């Protein structure tokens, strides 16, 4: 009897090819996506590059050499100009700050005036290299500071020696002419070495401790409250569950087809176009309320500053819910059974959520995966919420996200309308 | 001008011919039963009338207007075979929804809701969820949802399937009330007794064609003339066959079709007695719809 039951189950599974494929494709797809998201194609995450702006207010040989060494770092894309394609306008402190705030740069390094003259500094006080960071991207901040320490200790050894001797003379008295000649000879040799050597080849670890003091400046929290992080996660989770809700509720169409109510609706004066529009409008409203409830909960329990960002929140939530509802209808009209819908929606939503940044911030992914994230619904939605709550962007700055999500909503609706033709007159 | 007329309707699905030139018409205030074996084309015809199937050839007219014209189907009500209601809504909410989708609003909708709840006998349960209803109550509500806008023509696809005799009776009372008000009804059914006793006319569909149409007496007269069926129950199973009597296999009862009962019945009874058999029971009757159906399609309805 057990054998007969197993045989019957196998036969049913074999005959529903979509469910069969999903049974095996789903785990493989997830494994691949997560491997790509968290480890990169090579499995090491080495593809991650940080966009960093550099501002040289000092203009000394030390700062020039320090920043030139930064440019040679493989993990950094160094930018010196205000606009990426305009070499005429050099980046200044305020420009760098704005670009980091706006998310166009992961971080910026500002070498203040007087750093070269004070290098190396063994005593407290004096100028500090400022690293302007967005705390949303802890990897970028940590990477810059680490790289900075490495290059400051390995790239300018001649400067390091020169500065150190100047400090020595200040406290211990001047060198003799013979000693000075010997030092000058050594300096020439070190300069040659510095030009030839690649950064990172010295004994940075042994000397790490900071002879050039660095100061990490959080340019976001200068303006945004600390609870902006809560908003980021609320958006990430909210968008993912919005998709699940829309797919599940969209599946009501399949239930209606099975129960016969769809047939009854279609024999009324309603028509398929208006039926889909009504479903879409309901799902959009439901999705809007769902996300709002989540953010209100965030405001009440986690002190999320919803009130100050109400305009941006309403705009982003409206377009996100509209697009998610369209997506749910496309899935429902594309699938033939509830089982197919459950499998397909799970695989698509989890993949989009992983790649689009609902589970893991996109800026921590490799460049390829960051670009791939823009192919997903979640990527655009989360970018918008990030602009509102994290970067404090004005409403007008949301236009790319609003445009893309609105186009997606329209596209999904059109696709659902075409797919729903199978329920229309035969 | 007929409330509903179908002219030479043809429809194929791939290699399968569903309708092969069906023509029929519905009179005002009549109940026409559409009978046919499974796969005969009944559902396709009903769907073609309601606009859910596009005909390859032929056309449908509603009150003299081509059915495909905008607004022509406003006079049509459709009652599907499935109980197409929302279980988590009350009867009032279900009716309000389908009423609005048929263009009712405001006072007209309220009046229609009141009428429908009285008509179905569900006033007392108007605010209960449909999922708590019996099969018969759901069936009544299912019909009401299709006729709430008081259409001139109503298509009913097996409206009494799966309901007990009392509910069936109640449903036919509801349909009779509609008919008295001038509504024309086209009903598909597998219940021969219902078609025979409740419907004005009968149309039998087979292989996508109307093979017989008319009132039951007309059909019987056309197929059997003045012939009558006699059924006999004997005191024991005969040892050999009896000429002219078709016995049930292994049984002691049988039937014979007699062209002239007065002339032929005494001879039949004499043959029975000659075989040493006694007649326990005898009935003489006109052939019914079952015989008509069998004669026209070569099959029992349930085949």
Rounded Cα distance between B19 and B5, Å, is 15
Q: Which residue, of A160, A188, A218, is where some domain finishes?
A: A218
**What is the span of the domain harbouring residue A87?**
50-218
Q: Where are the domains of chain B?
A: 4-89+134-219, 228-286
Are the C-beta atoms of residues A217 and A133 closer than 8 Å to each other?
yes
Whether A187 and A294 map to the same domain: the answer is no
Q: Is residue A38 in some structural domain? A: no
Question: Do B52 and A269 lie within an 8 Å CB cutoff?
Answer: no
Q: Is B236 an interface residue toward A (CB < 8 Å)?
A: no
Q: Which residue spans within A154-266 are E strands per DSSP? A: 214-218
Considering the domain architecture, whether residues A155 and A177 belong to the same structural domain is answered as yes
pLDDT value at residue A201: 40
For the record, the structure tokens of A150 come out as 């490495």
Asked if A278 is an interface residue toward chain B (Cβ–Cβ < 8 A), one would say: no
Residues A180 and A272 in one domain: no
Asked whether residue A414 is domain-assigned, the answer is yes
* Residue A44 located in a structural domain: no
Q: Alpha-carbon distance A111 to B179, whole Å?
A: 94
Longest dimension (CA), chain B: 78
Q: Judge whether B70 is closer than 8 Å to chain A, CB to CB.
A: no
Q: Between B249 and A415, name the one with better pLDDT.
A: A415
- Cβ atoms < 10 Å from Cβ of A193: 13
Residue pLDDT, tens place only, B117-146: 999 989 999 889 999 999 889 999 999 999
Same domain for A354 and A205: no
CA distance B92 to B127: 7
Position A271 scores a pLDDT of: 85
Do the Cβ atoms of B101 and A265 come within 8 Å? yes
pLDDT level of residue B8 (50, 70, 90 thresholds)? very high
CB contact under 8 A, A263 and B53: no
In this prediction the pTM is 0.72
DSSP per-residue string spanning A153-164: HHS-HHHHHHHH
User: A342: which residues sit within 8 A by CB, 6+ positions away?
Assistant: A251
Are residue A241 and residue A312 in the same domain, yes or no?
yes
Convert the pLDDT of each residue in B91-125 to its tens digit.
999 999 999 988 899 999 999 999 999 999 899 99
Are B86 and A426 inside 8 Å of each other by CB?
Answer: no
A267 and A160 within one domain: no
Q: Tell me, yes or no, whether A415 and A277 share the same domain.
A: yes
Please tell me the predicted confidence (pLDDT) of residue B71: 87
Specify the number of domains making up chain A.
2
pLDDT, average across residues B160-188: 89
**pLDDT of the residue at B290:** 82
**H or E segment and range at residue B258:** strand B253-258
Q: CA nearest A274 in B: which residue? A: B101
| Residue pair B67/B73 in contact by the 8 Å Cβ criterion | yes
Same domain, A191 and A263: no
How open is the CA angle B263-B268-B269, to the nearest 5 degrees?
110
Does residue A16 sit within a domain?
A: no
Angstrom distance (rounded) from CA A389 to CA A229 = 8
Best of B93, B101, B109, B158 to disrupt the A interface by mutation (most A CBs within 10 Å)? B101
pLDDT the model gives residue A207? 34
Per residue of chain A (426 residues), give pLDDT as tens: 777 778 888 888 777 777 777 777 777 777 777 677 666 544 444 456 778 888 888 888 778 877 887 787 777 888 888 776 666 778 888 888 888 887 788 888 888 887 777 666 555 667 788 888 877 676 777 777 777 777 666 655 666 666 666 666 766 777 778 777 777 777 676 666 655 554 444 333 333 344 567 778 877 765 555 556 777 788 888 888 889 888 888 888 888 888 889 888 888 888 889 999 999 999 999 999 989 998 898 888 888 888 888 999 999 999 999 999 999 999 999 988 888 888 888 888 888 888 888 887 777 777 778 888 888 888 999 989 988 888 788 889 899 999 999 999 999 999 999 999 888 877
> What ipTM does the predicted assembly reach?
0.80
| Domain boundary, last residue among A187, A218, A249 | A218
Q: Pull the structure tokens for residue A169.
A: 């003379």
Q: Which of A197, A218, A239 corresponds to the end of one domain?
A: A218
Residues in B closer than 8 angstroms to A266, CB to CB, are 52
What would the two tokens of residue A1 be? 């009897």
CA distance A287 to chain B (A): 21
Beta carbons within 10 angstroms of residue A4's beta carbon = 8
A55, part of any domain: yes
Chain B nearest-CA residue for A260: B84
Percent of chain B with pLDDT over 70: 99
pLDDT at position A206 is 32
CATH of B4-89+134-219, picked from 3.40.50.300, 3.40.640.10, 3.40.1030.10, 3.40.50.2000, is 3.40.50.300
Q: Can you give the C-alpha Rg of chain A in angstroms?
A: 29
Contact (Cβ atoms closer than 8 angstroms) between residue A280 and residue B104: no
A250 and A143 both lie in a single domain:
no
Q: How far is B21 from chain A (nearest CA, A)?
A: 18
Give yes or no: residues A213 and A229 share one domain: no
Clarify whether residues A201 and A291 are in a common domain. no
Residue with tokens 């080495």: A46
Query: Sheet containing B153-157: which strands, arranged edge to edge?
Result: B76-79, B153-157, B184-188, B31-35, B201-206, B209-214
User: B153 vs chain A: nearest CA distance in angstroms?
Assistant: 14
Note the pLDDT tens digit of each residue in B176-218: 999 999 999 999 988 888 888 888 899 999 989 999 999 888 8
Give the three-class secondary structure for A262.
helix
Q: Given this model, what pLDDT does residue B179 score?
A: 92
> Quick check: is A266 in a domain?
yes
Chain-chain contact of B78 with A425 (C-beta, under 8 angstroms): no
Please tell me which of the candidates A260, A270, A426 has its beta carbon nearest to residue B80.
A260
Checking if the pLDDT of B5 tops 90, the result is yes
In a domain, A9, yes or no: no
Give the CATH number of domain B228-286. 3.30.70
| Residue A208 and residue A244 in one domain | no
């Amino acid at each position: 009897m057990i054998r007969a039951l197993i045989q019957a189950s196998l036969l049913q599974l074999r005959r529903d090819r979509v469910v069969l494929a999903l049974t095996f494709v789903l785990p493989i797809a997830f494994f691949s996506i997560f491997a790509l998201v968290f480890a990169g194609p090579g499995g090491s995450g080495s593809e991650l590059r940080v966009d960093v702006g550099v501002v040289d207010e000092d203009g000394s040989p030390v700062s020039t050499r320090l920043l030139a060494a930064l440019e040679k770092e493989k993990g950094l894309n160094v930018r010196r100009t205000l606009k990426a394609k305009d070499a005429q306008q050099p980046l200044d402190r305020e420009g760098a700050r704005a670009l980091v705030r706006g998310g166009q740069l992961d971080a910026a390094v500002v070498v203040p005036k007087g750093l070269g003259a004070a290098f190396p500094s063994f005593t407290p006080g004096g100028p500090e290299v400022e690293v302007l960071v967005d705390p949303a991207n802890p990897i970028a901040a940590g990477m810059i500071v680490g790289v900075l320490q490495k290059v400051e200790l390995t790239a300018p050894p001649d400067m390091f020696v020169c500065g150190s001797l100047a400090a020595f003379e200040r406290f211990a008295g001047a060198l003799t002419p013979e000693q000075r000649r010997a030092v000058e000879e050594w300096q020439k040799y070190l300069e040659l070495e510095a030009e030839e050597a690649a950064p990172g080849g010295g004994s940075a670890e042994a000397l790490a401790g900071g002879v050039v003091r660095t100061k990490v400046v959080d340019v976001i929290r200068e303006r945004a409250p600390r609870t902006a992080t809560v908003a980021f996660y609320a958006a990430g989770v909210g968008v993912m569950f919005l998709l699940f809700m829309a797919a599940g509720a969209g599946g009501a169409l399949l239930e209606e087809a099975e129960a016969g109510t769809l047939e009854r609706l279609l024999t009324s004066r309603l028509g398929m176009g208006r039926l889909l529009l009504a479903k879409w409008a309901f799902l959009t409203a439901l999705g809007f309320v769902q996300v709002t409830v989540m953010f209100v909960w965030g405001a009440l329990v986690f002190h999320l500053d919803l009130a100050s960002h109400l305009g941006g929140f309403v705009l982003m939530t409206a377009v996100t819910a509209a697009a998610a509802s369209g997506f749910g209808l496309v899935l429902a009209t594309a699938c033939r059974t509830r089982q197919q819908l459950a499998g397909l929606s799970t695989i698509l939503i989890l993949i989009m959520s992983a790649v689009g940044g609902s589970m893991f911030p996109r800026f921590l992914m490799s460049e390829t995966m960051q670009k791939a994230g823009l192919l997903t619904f979640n990527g655009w939605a989360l970018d918008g919420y990030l602009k509102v709550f994290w970067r404090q962007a004005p409403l007008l700055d949301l236009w790319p996200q609003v445009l893309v999500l609105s186009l997606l909503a329209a596209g999904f609706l059109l696709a659902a309308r075409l797919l729903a033709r199978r329920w229309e007159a035969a | 001008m007929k409330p509903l007329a179908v002219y030479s309707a043809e429809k194929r699905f791939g290699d399968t011919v569903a309708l092969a030139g069906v023509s029929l018409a519905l009179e005002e205030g009549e109940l026409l039963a559409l009978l046919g074996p499974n796969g005969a084309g009944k559902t396709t015809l009903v769907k073609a009338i309601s606009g859910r199937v596009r005909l390859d050839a032929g056309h449908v007219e509603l009150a003299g207007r081509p059915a495909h014209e905008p607004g022509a189907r406003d006079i049509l009500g459709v009652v599907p075979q499935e109980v197409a209601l929302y279980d988590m809504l009350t009867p009032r909410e279900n009716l309000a929804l389908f009423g609005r989708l048929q263009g009712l609003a405001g006072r007209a909708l309220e009046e229609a809701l009141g009428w429908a709840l009285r008509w179905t006998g569900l006033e007392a349960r108007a605010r209960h969820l449909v999922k708590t209803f019996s099969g018969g109550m759901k069936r009544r509500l299912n019909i009401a949802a299709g006729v709430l806008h008081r259409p001139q023509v109503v298509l009913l696809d097996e409206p009494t399937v799966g309901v007990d005799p009392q509910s069936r009776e109640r449903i036919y009372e509801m349909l009779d009330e509609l008919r008295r008000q001038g509504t024309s009804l086209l009903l598909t059914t597998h219940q021969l007794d219902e078609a025979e006793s409740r419907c004005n006319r009968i149309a039998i569909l087979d292989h996508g064609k109307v093979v017989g149409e008319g009132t039951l007496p007309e059909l019987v007269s056309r197929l059997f003339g003045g012939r009558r069926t006699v059924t006999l129950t004997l005191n024991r199973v005969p040892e050999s066959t009896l000429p002219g009597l078709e016995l049930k296999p292994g049984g002691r009862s049988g039937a014979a079709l007699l062209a002239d009962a007065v002339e032929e019945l005494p001879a039949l009874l004499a043959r029975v007695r000659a075989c040493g058999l006694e007649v326990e029971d005898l009935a003489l009757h006109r052939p019914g719809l079952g015989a008509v159906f069998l004669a026209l399609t070569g099959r029992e309805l349930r085949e």
